[in-house]
Amino acid sequence: MISDTEMTFEMALAKLEAAADALKKDSTTLEEAMNYFDEGLKQYNYCSKILADAKQKVLLYEAENNSLKEMD
């Protein structure tokens, strides 16, 4: 099994999509639905953190770039 530190954004997103698809099936039991919901929430939070970190890096790079432009 892949740990969270080894999981890529794309892998987590695929797991989130799989959980969402499973929740849409009529044959999914309540217990299964709760498990899929928990897994989906875990993957959603993981993806959100990756996106927030990426956004922060972009903002930092933009600020650094603007500072360098002002020095010119």
pTM: 0.79
Instruction: Assess if residue 54 is contained within a domain.
Output: yes
Express each pLDDT in 18-50 by its tens digit.
999 999 999 999 999 999 999 999 999 999 999
Helix axes 30-71, 9-24, angle to 10 degrees: 150
Q: How many domains does the chain have?
A: 1
Q: How far is CA 26 from CA 3, 11, 33, 59, in A?
A: 31, 25, 10, 43
Instruction: Assess if residue 1 is contained within a domain.
Output: no
Print the domain residue range for 65.
9-71
Instruction: Assess if residue 2 is contained within a domain.
Output: no
